[in-house]
Amino acid sequence: MIKWYEQIYEEANSMKKMLSRFNWKYWVPLVGMASLSALFFRTFVLSPVEVVGNSMEPALHDGNEVLVRKYGKVKRFEIVIFTLPNGKTCVKRVIGLPGDMISYKDDTLYVNGKAVDESFLDDVKRQYNTYTSDFSLNELIGKKRVPKNQYFVLGDNRRISKDSRTIGTIKSEWISGRVLLNYWPITSFKLFN
């Protein structure tokens, strides 16, 4: 009958032999490179973000998980993630690019004096007489055009969103990425362009 301490000793020796055969020179660099690659990918390419709040309904809802693209040029109507100087992270839609003149009149968006369709709001607009109140960029920030390296953003839920109408334009360096897709919950899966 083998005593319990002899069994432990044998198992320890067995483990020691197995570890001595383990090719540390191969596996340690491989695991290190995989970790660095994952860190690089998450820092500079794509990262997950949880949506907090209802300001982007109906496109995004509180608790949705989105994948954010951290490279490329910001385009009109893309949904961006940005962090304000006070540390608050926000999710909003880009309406005005640097140099644009932005105004709203009779529930219609005007960019550089031309009416622009916001088809992503069609279903919601039908529910209200006026969904977005009238304003001009000049009334809001005292400038006729969106300043250089800044963006004018609005939440899709215009009636409750605290966006460029209240916080002003956002600086390009505040933007951490552009929403690529909503992946959670699965029933809300949606790819954004």
What domains are defined for the chain?
4-43 (no CATH), 45-191 (2.10.109.10)
pLDDT surpasses 60 at 119: yes
Do the Cβ atoms of 141 and 70 come closer than 8 Å? no
CA dist 150 and 25 (Å) reads 49
Work out the burial of residue 100: count CB atoms within 10 Å of its CB; fewer than 13 is exposed, 13-18 middle, 19 or more buried: middle
Q: Report the candidate in 84, 100, 80, 88 with the shortest Cα–Cα distance to residue 148.
A: 100
Task: Retrieve residue 122's tokens.
Answer: 């069609």
Cα 36 to Cα 31, 33, 44, 149: the distances in Å are 9, 5, 12, 31
Structure confidence at residue 97 as a pLDDT band (50, 70, 90): very high
Task: Retrieve residue 59's tokens.
Answer: 């496109």
Q: What is the DSSP letter of 169?
A: -
Do the Cβ atoms of 160 and 63 come closer than 8 Å? no
pLDDT surpasses 90 at 118: no
Q: What is the pLDDT of residues 61-88, one digit of tens each?
A: 999 999 898 888 999 999 999 999 999 9
Q: Which residues are catalytic?
A: 55, 92
Structure confidence at residue 22 as a pLDDT band (50, 70, 90): low
